[in-house]
Amino acid sequence: MIQRGQLVRHDFAIRDLTVSAVRELSPGFRRVTLTGADLAGFTSLGAGDHSKVFFPDPANGDYAVPALTEDGLRMPDAGTVIMRDYTPRAFRELSAELDIDFYLHGDDGPASAWAARASEGDRLVLAGPRGSHLPPTGAARVVLLGDETALPAIARWIEILPEPIEVFVFVELGNQSDAAYLDPDHVHRARVVWLGKGDGGLERAIRSLDTAVIGDDTYFWGAGDSESLLPVRHYLRRELGLPVTQVKLTGYWKPGVEALDHHAPIDPTDPD
């Protein structure tokens, strides 16, 4: 029987950081490494963790960041706060370095546009994670699915899950060259299937999973374009009737929507 992983809460802080390195991981991915004294106390224990990242206004370069008060984040009186969610890909406490892996989807979003141009010395402010969900207990196998935006978390999942747990990965890519994002070690540890985009491939792949793979000890975690996840969720939760403790799918973005709220249900007519 699968049970939700424990939630570990962390002190919430605003961290004012500096880009110390930028690395191209694949045609569509840039790893931005951040450093600074504000990283003291940074903690991220869960593969699906996220930080709120604040970006400068691409129109004028102005940087509006909130302040931390006892009641939470207080938005500044002036300026527009541009805030997006990103996965802390890796944190090295000894060298005070935090990696964030940005998928570059184009210049129509301030986060992607910033990441495409980021260079050493640039400033980036972030807050959180507020807490981390540890992996669920009782899973014999874990199926990870989504698109490029899920890959930093999927890489973390592969690293966190202990060896006896079987790991399956299904990821839709706009450009198959971005398969290079995953290290050979990740690909060796998991059964990874790369899919094309926009033709329902993710749903088909999950529907084609053998019933031996989908048991009451199988956990599904997925993230990415909420429109692609919708039919997958319907299949797993409604057609197969898997309980919410076995399926965690989160919309990380939605076509045509700026700064999608990932707490919004993938299917508003059928929230978890």
Ligand X SMILES: Cc1cc2nc3c(=O)[nH]c(=O)nc-3n(C[C@H](O)[C@H](O)[C@H](O)COP(=O)(O)OP(=O)(O)OC[C@H]3O[C@@H](n4cnc5c(N)ncnc54)[C@H](O)[C@@H]3O)c2cc1C
- Interface residues with ligand X (CB under 6 A) are 50, 84-87, 101-103, 105, 108-112, 148-149, 152, 252-259, 262
How crowded is residue 250: how many other Cβ atoms within 10 Å of its Cβ?
22
Instruction: Find the shortest distance in angstroms from Cβ 101 to ligand X.
Output: 5
Instruction: Find the shortest distance in angstroms from Cβ 163 to ligand X.
Output: 25
Query: Quick check: 145 and 202 in contact, CB under 8 A?
Result: yes
Nearest residue (CB) to ligand X, 39 versus 98: 98
Q: Which residue has the tokens 């990103």?
A: 86
Nearest residue (CB) to ligand X, 101 versus 203: 101
Give residue 209's identity as a one-letter amino acid code. L
Instruction: Find the shortest distance in angstroms from Cβ 58 to ligand X.
Output: 9
Nearest residue (CB) to ligand X, 141 versus 157: 157
User: Nearest Cα to 85, choosing from 56, 111, 59, 124?
Assistant: 111
Q: Who's near 106: CB < 8 A, 6+ residues apart?
A: 112, 113
Q: CA-CA distance, 220 to 222, in Å (whole number)? A: 7
Instruction: Find the shortest distance in angstroms from Cβ 251 to ligand X.
Output: 7
Q: Which residue is nearest to ligand X (CB)?
A: 109
Nearest residue (CB) to ligand X, 122 versus 166: 122
Nearest residue (CB) to ligand X, 29 versus 219: 29
Nearest residue (CB) to ligand X, 117 versus 238: 117
Structure tokens at 180: 């290079």
Structure tokens at 36: 């600074």
Nearest residue (CB) to ligand X, 105 versus 186: 105
Q: CA-CA distance, 162 to 159, in Å (whole number)? A: 8
Instruction: Find the shortest distance in angstroms from Cβ 11 to ligand X.
Output: 19
- 178 to 26, 106, 113: CA distances (angstroms): 5, 15, 18
The DSSP secondary-structure symbol of 148 reads: G
Q: How would DSSP label each residue in 23-62? A: EEEETTEEEEEEE-GGGTT-----TT--EEEEE--TTT--
Helix or strand (DSSP H, E) at 193: strand 191-195
Helix or strand (DSSP H, E) at 155: helix 151-160
Instruction: Find the shortest distance in angstroms from Cβ 183 to ligand X.
Output: 16
Instruction: Find the shortest distance in angstroms from Cβ 229 to ligand X.
Output: 12
